[in-house]
């Protein structure tokens, strides 16, 4: 069986994530995480928090539900829409672009009116893939999920970003009127995808981790902090290179500015924030590219937009992060719709609406890419080579036999570990080989084995997941040994 087939079985067997609920019919695009899965995700999010804090971002949290006015201002009510056609016979809904992209790849759908689309469907005799009825209906499908709150219309947020923007004035006064201001938010968002697919890649409920830099125009270039990160190298694939059929090329951030691939140092700095996180979680940087949006796929307000993509075995290139220069669009719109001034003064004393630079990660996608990459088969057995700080369980304790007092010693060691805040499990069942294999499969970095020598000299063996090496250590030192190892790995 191939690695990827084994991997899919592993996800299922260990309940890392799965469609939810499992005992009733589920709605596509909603997932639950089992005990190991949520541990991995939580630890990944903790690493993300610590990386963004390193770049001096502050965290905020906002409600998932917001009134229509917010989405009117953000543009989501009007523009967050797919063109659909509904089969008049079987009631199936299709995205028109997906339905016809294969046969008419050059068609500029975005430029067509509803009348034009209707005419196109009729003239080309487009039929329902399911029941073969001719399709003629054209409609709008908003991707936001509408909810009612005490009889009033509201929407589940389709992104965290918009909610982060709403309190800009508060950040400005809290941080004593000093710009730039860096804020991130982690939390759920919802999109009513017409077809949810590809596991965690396109879900209707998902988690985002989005950093926003509120900045004055004059601060964007030059940008002081850029000096610390300018030598970081990444594979950039500009829209120009894509159009000319060229491959991504490795450039330092300084070179991207010199070659005018990126226009502003503050924007280039956003790529460093993303890069540092990926390097820390040991994502294979050879399977990474930064793809610039082509002019016609860019949001209407965006000055520049790039997708950070990871090559996966199961789904090909997957976007895990968007890096966007949103200009003053967002705060400008919220200023207009809320009739609240969101302007601040620049160094010349002139008022301006701040610019926003965004680093937007999808947490589920990032987690998927990481575990797919780190899933390995060693000597015919599964091994999850996650970075040690992200492994769901930090260590395990086994007695060689569960008799002659060995089990009691193991239980004592395990207790010493857990009361010291270390995620440890005690496993008494099965052969030692099978117990190691169970721990390797979920990526447990260290296993302690209590044997007969332990009774004589109060030592145990510690086995390292990565190279399976074993050494003897004194039982009394175990909590501090584990703490040291995890400090070194992070
Ligand atoms: Zn039909």
- In tens, the pLDDT along 315-371 reads 999 999 999 999 999 999 999 999 999 999 999 999 999 999 999 999 999 999 999
SS (H, E, C) the chain: CCHHHHHHHHHHHCCCEEECCCCCCCCCCCEEECHHHHHHHHHHHHHHHHHHHHCCCEEECCCCEECHHHHHHHCHHHHCEEEEEECCCCCCEEEHHHHHCCCCCCCCHHHCCHHHHHHHHHHCCCECCCCCCECCCCEEEECCCEEEECCEEEEECCCCHHHHHCCHHHHHHHCCCCCCEEEEEEEEEECCCCCCECHHHECCEEEEEEEEEEECHHHCCCCHHHHHCCCCEEEEECHHHHHCCCCCEEEEHHHHHHCCCCCCHHHHHHHHHHHHHHHHCCCCHHHEEEEECCCCCCCCCCCEEEEEEEEECCCEEEEEEEEEEEECHHHHHHHHHHCCCCCEECCCCCEECCEEEEEEEEHHHHHHHHHHHHEEEECCEEEECCCHHHCCCCEEEEECCCCCCHHHHHHHHHHHHHHCCCCEEECCCCCHHHHHHHHHHCCCCEEEEECHHHHHHCEEEEEECCCCCEEEEEHHHHHHHHHHHHHHHC
Q: List CB-based neighbours of ion ligand 1 within 5 Å.
A: 87, 89-90, 128, 130-131, 133
Q: How far is the CA of 93 from the centre of ligand 1 (A)?
A: 9
Instruction: Evaluate if residue 477 carries a pLDDT over 70.
Output: yes
What sign has the CA pseudo-torsion 402, 403, 404, 408? positive
Residue indicated by tokens 């007695």: 399
User: What does the pLDDT look like over 20-62, one tens digit per residue?
Assistant: 999 999 999 999 999 999 999 999 999 999 999 999 999 999 9
Strand partners, 473: 460
Distance 136 CA to ligand 1 centre (A): 11
Q: How far, in Å, is the centroid of ligand 1 from the Cα of 134?
A: 8
Distances (CA, A) of 211 to 174, 361, 450: 18, 8, 47
Lowest mean pLDDT among 96-110, 255-269, 280-294: 96-110
Work out the number of other CB atoms within 10 angstroms of the CB of residue 300: 7
Q: How far is the CA of 88 from the centre of ligand 1 (A)?
A: 7
What tokens does 185 get?
């938010």
Cβ-based neighbour number of residue 283 at 10 Å:
20
* CA 143 to centroid of ligand 1, rounded, Å: 22
pLDDT tens digits along 120-159: 899 989 999 999 999 989 999 999 999 999 999 999 999 9
CA 84 to ligand 1 center in whole angstroms: 13
99 CA distance to ligand 1 centroid (A)? 13
Kindly give the distance from the C-alpha atom of residue 126 to the centroid of ligand 1, in angstroms, as a whole number. 11
Question: Cα of 277 to ligand 1 centre, how many Å?
Answer: 46
The answer to whether 319 touches 201, Cβ cutoff 8 Å, is: no
Question: Is the peptide bond preceding residue 236 cis, with omega within 30 degrees of 0?
Answer: no
Compute the distance between CA of residue 142 and CA of residue 203 in angstroms, rounded to an integer.
16
Please tell me the distance between residue 113's alpha carbon and the centre of ligand 1 in angstroms: 23
The alpha carbon of 91 and the centre of ligand 1 are apart by a number of angstroms equal to 6
* More confident: 93 or 52: 52
The average pLDDT across 427-435 equals 95
**Is residue 8 over pLDDT 90?**
yes
pLDDT of residue 112: 81
Residue pointed to by tokens 């609240």: 340
Mean pLDDT, the chain, as a whole number?
Answer: 95
- How far does residue 19's CA lie from ligand 1's centre (Å)? 26
* 123 alpha carbon – ligand 1 mean position (Å): 18
Compute the distance between CA of residue 129 and CA of residue 44 in angstroms, rounded to an integer. 41
Q: How many Å apart are CA 25 and CA 27, to the nearest integer? A: 7
For residue 401, is pLDDT > 80? yes
Find the 100 Cα to ligand 1 centroid distance in Å: 15
Ligand 1 centroid, distance to 130 Cα (angstroms)? 5
Ligand 1 centre from 128 Cα, in Å?
5
Q: Is the peptide bond before 21 cis (omega within 30 degrees of 0)?
A: yes
**How far, in Å, is the centroid of ligand 1 from the Cα of 131?**
4
What integer pLDDT is reported at residue 490 of this predicted model? 56
Predicted pLDDT of residue 489? 61
d(CA 265, CA 345): 21
CA of 101 to the centre of ligand 1 (A): 19
- 3-13 vs 363-374: helix axis angle to the nearest 10? 120
Residue 156 Cα, ligand 1 centroid: separation in angstroms? Answer: 30
| Angle value at C-alpha 457, between 455 and 461, nearest 5 degrees | 80
CA of 471 to the centre of ligand 1 (A): 66
Say how many Å lie between the CA of residue 135 and the centre of ligand 1. 8
- CA 287 – ligand 1 centroid, Å: 41
The residue that leads in pLDDT, 300 or 223, is 223
Other beta carbons within 10 angstroms of residue 385's beta carbon come to 18
**pLDDT reported for residue 98:** 83
Average pLDDT over residues 239-257: 97
What is the 138 CA–ligand 1 centroid distance (Å)?
Answer: 14
Compute, in angstroms, the gap from residue 345 CA to the centroid of ligand 1.
58
Distance 141 CA to ligand 1 centre (A): 18
Domains in the chain, please, with CATH?
3-75+144-227+265-374 (3.30.930.10), 81-142 (3.30.40.230), 393-489 (3.40.50.800)
127 Cα–ligand 1 center, Å: 8
80 CA distance to ligand 1 middle (Å): 25
pLDDT digits (tens, 9 = 90+) for 106-118: 777 767 888 888 9
Q: Quick check: 105 pLDDT over 80?
A: no
In a 13 Å sphere around the CA of 155, the CA atoms on its Cβ side amount to: 24
Bond from prior residue into 227 cis (ω within 30 degrees of 0): no
Which tokens belong to 141?
């499908």
387 Rama class: left (phi>0) / alpha (psi -120 to 50) / beta: beta
């Amino acid at each position: 069986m191939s690695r990827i087939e084994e991997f899919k079985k592993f996800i299922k067997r260990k309940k890392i994530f799965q469609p939810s609920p499992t005992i009733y019919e589920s709605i596509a695009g909603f997932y639950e995480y089992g005990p190991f899965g949520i541990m991995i995700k939580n630890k990944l999010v903790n690493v993300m928090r610590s990386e963004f804090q390193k770049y001096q971002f502050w965290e905020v949290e906002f409600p998932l539900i917001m009134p229509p006015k917010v989405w009117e201002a953000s543009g989501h009510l009007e523009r967050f829409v797919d063109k659909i056609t509904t089969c008049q016979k079987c009631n199936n809904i299709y995205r028109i672009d997906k339905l016809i992209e294969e046969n008419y790849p050059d068609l500029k759908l975005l430029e067509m009116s509803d009348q034009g689309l209707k005419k196109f469907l009729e003239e080309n005799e487009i039929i329902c893939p399911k029941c073969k009825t001719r399709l003629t209906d054209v409609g709008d499908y908003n991707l936001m999920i509408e909810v009612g709150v005490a009889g009033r219309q509201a929407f589940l947020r389709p992104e965290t970003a918009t909610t982060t923007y709403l309190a800009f004035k508060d950040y400005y006064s809290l941080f004593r009127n000093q710009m730039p201001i860096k804020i991130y938010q982690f939390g759920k968002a919802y999109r009513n995808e017409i077809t949810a697919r590809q596991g965690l890649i396109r879900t209707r409920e998902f988690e985002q981790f989005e950093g926003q830099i509120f900045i004055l125009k004059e601060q964007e270039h030059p940008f002081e902090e850029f000096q610390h990160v300018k030598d970081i190298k990444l594979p950039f694939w500009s829209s120009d290179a894509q159009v000319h059929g060229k491959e991504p090329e490795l450039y330092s951030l300084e070179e991207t500015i010199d070659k005018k691939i990126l226009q502003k140092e503050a924007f280039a700095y956003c790529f460093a924030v993303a890069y540092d996180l990926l390097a820390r979680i040991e994502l294979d940087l050879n399977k990474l590219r930064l793809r610039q949006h082509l002019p016609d796929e860019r949001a209407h307000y965006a000055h520049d937009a790039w997708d950070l993509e990871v090559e996966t075995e199961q789904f090909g290139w997957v976007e895990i992060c968007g890096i966007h220069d949103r200009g003053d669009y967002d705060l400008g719109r919220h200023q207009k719709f809320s009739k609240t001034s969101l302007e601040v003064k620049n160094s010349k004393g002139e008022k301006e609406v701040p610019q926003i630079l965004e680093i937007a990660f999808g947490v589920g996608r990032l987690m998927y890419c990481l575990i797919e990459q780190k899933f390995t088969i060693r000597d015919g057995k599964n091994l999850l080579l996650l970075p040690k700080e992200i492994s769901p369980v930090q260590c395990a304790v086994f007695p060689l036999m569960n008799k002659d007092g060995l089990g009691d010693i193991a239980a004592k060691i395990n207790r010493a570990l857990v009361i010291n805040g270390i995620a440890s499990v005690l496993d008494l069942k099965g052969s030692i080989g099978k117990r190691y294999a169970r721990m390797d499969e979920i990526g447990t970095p260290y296993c302690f084995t209590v044997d007969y020598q332990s009774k004589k000299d109060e030592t145990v063996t510690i086995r390292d997941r990565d190279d399976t090496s074993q050494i003897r250590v004194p039982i009394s030192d175990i909590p501090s040994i584990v703490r040291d190892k995890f400090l070194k790995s992070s």
